[in-house]
Amino acid sequence: MLGEAARRFAALSTPVKLFLILSAALLPIGLGLVWAASQGIRDANNVIEDQAHEQARLASRGVESLIARNALALRIASNGRITNSADACSIVQQSLTVTPAVAQRFELEDENGRRLCEVGNVPETARLSLVAPGDIALKILPEDEALGFRVGVVGGLATGALSRADLKKAALDAAPNVQGLTLRDRQSELQIVAPSALDDPAQKLVTSKWPLANGRLEMVVTTKLPMITTGDRLLLLLPFLMWIVAALLTWVLVTRLLIGPLRMLQRAVVNYEPGNEELALPQKLGPATEIQDLRDAFERAMERVEGSEREMAGALEGQRRLVREVHHRVKNNLQVVASLINIHGRTAETPPARAAYGSISRRVGALAIVHRNHFAEMEENRGISLRPLLSELAAELRATAPDSARGMRIELDLEGANTTQDVAVSVAFLVTEIVEFAMLRTPEDPVEISLRRTSELTARLTLNSKVLNPDEEGDREKDQFERIISGLAKQLRSVLERKLGRYSVEIPVFPPL
């Protein structure tokens, strides 16, 4: 499994590899930073929520403290001072004057709740229940926008009222950031601070409820709480975005500054054809000096290679000229030898000697013809063409035929085919042997030579003559002739096919152009 993954990774391009490596290296860091940022925002939100909770608690405690302070001060001031005298309220008022932050509106009542005296404008308190000494009753008075409270004292009741303004001041003094306050009892409610509309969409209002006076009242507090904004979300995603930007930026830079110039350099080298034109490498390959040095190194290497190829081409041309000269000289020497043999043959005193000279001359001439055609092969580099070779050989054989065979016809039916020098030599000797044997044995009959291509790589050489018919056993000249022909066929690596008056052999040739 690991080996297959490594193989697939190795097959990826360099930019993709780099992108994956950077992703693997930076992604854990990005995820850690995202977690840290989210945790920081979560902690900040918790702190803000705690602060809002604390503001609501302080506001409710401020209101509760105001109620308790007023109720306690009124109980202490009124306890034991309720009489039928009109001076009772004055005495209580004097006592309350020395108590700070206490309302100066109250009334004194007897045990049945009948009003005895009043200080200030006290709202209608008939709805407040009667209480025993030491107890307290609280009631929201929505019509008067006040909170009424009644305490039981020795000899009667003392009733006071806290206005909406008093409650608001007590709450805001304790918690100035409170947005809304509503005081409730079991039947009514008093809105102390009306919640205002938020002009900042990044904030929201949060409402909490707080019990007051041992559950007799309930304070509903509204506070502002910041929300997670788009900036906060971007802050959360910033490390992740940095990872993406870093990976993509690295991929783009590597592709533009490294891979792109390398591919341009590769295309220039691949499109270069040695010998056709000079190597033209791109001059602008970006700011990477290493790639420019690589381009210069390519140019120097190609200059050395081209110089070496020019030297090798010159040496090869010299070698080719030398080989051509050698073959030309061999052909000339063979022709000189053939001419000398003909001259000596004409001066021979006996017919057998002249026939021997003629036989040797014809073979030397056949070899000279092969060398002359091999010289042409080296000029064209396509192998020795068998059709002109056999045509020239037939003309040479007719020209050097003995007097008794001067009128013998050599009929040719040849297709174009090229072969190597070794095959051409064997073919030339094979044709010479058969034609010469026909000249000596049946000069009045023609010899037919045909060459037909049987495949892309083979051709069949066929010779027809009466001299190739089977003779009586014991003919020593025919036996020697058969041994020579069989040996030449073996040199061609083919089986000599013998039929009545016809010999044929398969020879290797080059594919047609």
61 and 168 in a single domain? The answer is: yes
- Residue where a domain stops, chosen among 214, 230, 246: 230
pLDDT at residue 285, rounded to an integer = 65
326 and 223 within one domain? no
- 116 near 159, Cβ under 8 Å? no
Considering the domain architecture, whether residues 206 and 337 belong to the same structural domain is answered as no
For 113, left (φ over 0), alpha (ψ -120 to 50), or beta?
left
Quick check: 409 and 358 in contact, CB under 8 A? no
Band of pLDDT at residue 354, cut at 50, 70 and 90: low
Instruction: Specify if 390 maps to a domain.
Output: yes
The pLDDT confidence band at residue 495, using thresholds 50, 70 and 90, is confident
Higher-confidence position of 382 and 56: 56
Domain count, the chain: 2
Q: Are residues 225 and 332 in the same domain?
A: no
Non-local (6+) Cβ contacts of 262 within 8 A are: 291
Residues 200 and 332 in one domain: no
Residue 379: pLDDT band (50, 70, 90) is very low
Q: Give me 313's structure tokens.
A: 């081409």
Amino acid making up residue 175: A
Q: Are residues 219 and 326 in the same domain?
A: no
Mean pLDDT of the chain: 77
Where among 162, 197, 230 does a domain terminate? 230
Instruction: Quote the tokens at residue 445.
Output: 């009959």
Residues 58 and 186 placed together within one structural domain of the fold: yes
* The pLDDT of residue 355 is above 80: no
What's the confidence (pLDDT) of residue 311?
A: 82
| CATH number, position 368 | 3.30.565.10
pLDDT digits (tens, 9 = 90+) for 39-63: 777 777 777 777 778 888 888 888 8
pLDDT digits (tens, 9 = 90+) for 503-512: 999 999 988 8
Residue-number span of the structural domain to which 155 is assigned: 33-230
Residue 482 has pLDDT above 70, yes or no: yes
Cα gap 372→424, rounded to integer Å: 11
In a domain, 212, yes or no: yes
pLDDT at 449: 92
- Within this chain, do residues 196 and 333 fall inside the same structural domain, yes or no? no
Query: The tokens of 24 are what?
Result: 């693997």
215 in the same domain as 337: no
d(CA 483, CA 462): 18
- What are the structure tokens assigned to 27, written together? 């992604």
Distances (CA, A) of 468 to 183, 401, 501, 505: 142, 19, 5, 14
Same-domain pairing of 186 and 72: yes
pTM: 0.45
pLDDT digits (tens, 9 = 90+) for 237-295: 677 677 777 777 777 777 777 777 777 777 777 777 666 666 666 767 666 677 777 77
What are 115's strand-pairing partners? 109
Tokens representing residue 200 in the block: 């900042």
Residue pair 512/506 in contact (Cβ under 8 Å)? The answer is no
Do the domain assignments include residue 4?
no
Asked if residue 264 is part of any domain, the answer here is: no
Helices 230-254/14-78 angle, 10° precision: 170
CB 401 within 8 A of CB 363: no
pLDDT in tens, 142-181: 888 888 888 888 888 888 888 888 888 888 888 887 878 8
Domain-embedded: residue 470: yes
> Do 212 and 354 share a domain, yes or no?
no
Report the 10 Å Cβ neighbour count for 108.
24
Strands 384-385 and 178-184: unpaired
Q: 240-254, 300-314, 374-388, 435-449 — which one is most confidently predicted on average? A: 435-449
188 bridge partner residues? none
Per DSSP, the residues of 434-461 read HHHHHHHH-TTS-EEEEEEE-SSSEEEE
Cβ contact 149:137 at 8 Å:
yes
**What pLDDT shows up at residue 475?**
73
User: Is residue 320 predicted with pLDDT exceeding 60?
Assistant: yes
Task: Write out the two tokens for 182.
Answer: 């509503």
Q: Which residue has the higher pLDDT, 341 or 146?
A: 146
289 within a domain of the structure (yes/no): no
CB within 8 Å of 417: residues ≥ 6 apart: 385, 386, 387, 451, 453, 459, 509, 510, 512
Residue 461 lies in a domain: yes
- Convert the pLDDT of each residue in 73-88 to its tens digit: 878 888 777 766 667 7
Residue 474: band (very low, low, confident or very high) from pLDDT cuts 50, 70, 90:
low
Give the torsion sign (CA, 76, 81, 85, 90): negative
Task: Using the 3D structure, point to which of 230, 263, 289 is the last residue of a domain.
Answer: 230
Q: Within a domain: residue 263?
A: no
- Please name the residue ranges forming H helices in 347-475: 351-380, 386-399, 421-441
| Paired tokens of 9 | 């990774």
Tell me, yes or no, whether 65 and 202 share the same domain.
yes
According to the model, what pLDDT value does residue 287 have?
65
pLDDT band (50, 70, 90) for residue 338: low
Distance CA 93, CA 78 (A): 9
